[in-house]
Structure 1
Amino acid sequence: MARRDISGAVDFAYLEGFAMGDQTVIEEVLALFREQAALWTPMLDPGHPGWRDAVHTVKGAARGVGANALGEVCQRAEDGQASLDEVKTALDTALLDIAAYVHEQALRSLKG
């Protein structure tokens, strides 16, 4: 994975600016997002009683890391205009971008 694998689902420039370029903070935020995504995913099912709360939580977290497309899909799901499958797809896309970004940063640190 490398920068070429980043689809644009996450605005890393936004996150880098918000964290004032502190790579340690960025890594911690992205790790927390990934850990939380593992908890949210099972809740993104129409049969789960907490799916609305999960979508709302994902929306806020997504916007916080710069995953704007995911945040928008979550908003549409809250408004009844998008399905939970669309939310899961957008979450997966954001997670793939995050994985590619983290991989690229790890390679940069090795070149150091």
Structure 2
Amino acid sequence: MSRRDLTGAVDFAVLDRTTGGDDAVAEEVLGLFVQQAGLWSPMLDTRQEGWRDAVHTIRGAAAGIGAGHLAAACLEAEGAESGVVPRRLDEVRDALNAALADVAAWRHELMLRSLKG
């Protein structure tokens, strides 16, 4: 994966503004995002009591890296009526997977840049 594999799920200009364009800080922030996704994504299920907390946490992390579609999907899920929550959580999972794919491509690009010196 490399930058050419980006789908647009993450606006990395937001990350660049947040990190001041520092690749090491960007890598750290993206690593934390991936860790949080791994911790919270199993709770994206209405059978999990803390699913709203998971969605809220993912929304904040998504906004911090520029994953606007994911943040919006989380906001929709947080405020959804009980009958549509399962569908909204599916949308959150789909948006999270897209964001994680973009993050993986960007991190790969960062790694390649660091190898080139």
| TM-score category, normalised to shorter length | over 0.9
In the aligned structure 2, how far is the partner of 1:106 from the partner of 1:96? 15
1:62-81 equivalence runs, <5 A: 62-80=62-80
Between the two proteins, the alignment pairs up a number of residues equal to: 112
- State TM-score, norm by structure 1: 0.95
| 1:37 match | 37
CA RMSD of aligned residues (A): 1.1
1:28 deviates by 0.6
In the aligned structure 1, how far is the partner of 2:34 from the partner of 2:24? 15
Mark the runs of 5 or more structure 1 residues left unpaired by the alignment.
none
| 2:53 match | 53
Runs of 4+, deviation exceeding 2 Å: none
The sequence identity of aligned pairs, in percent, is 58
- State TM-score, norm by structure 2: 0.91
Mark the runs of 5 or more structure 2 residues left unpaired by the alignment.
none
AA aligned to 1:22 is D
1:103 deviates by 0.4
AA aligned to 2:65 is V
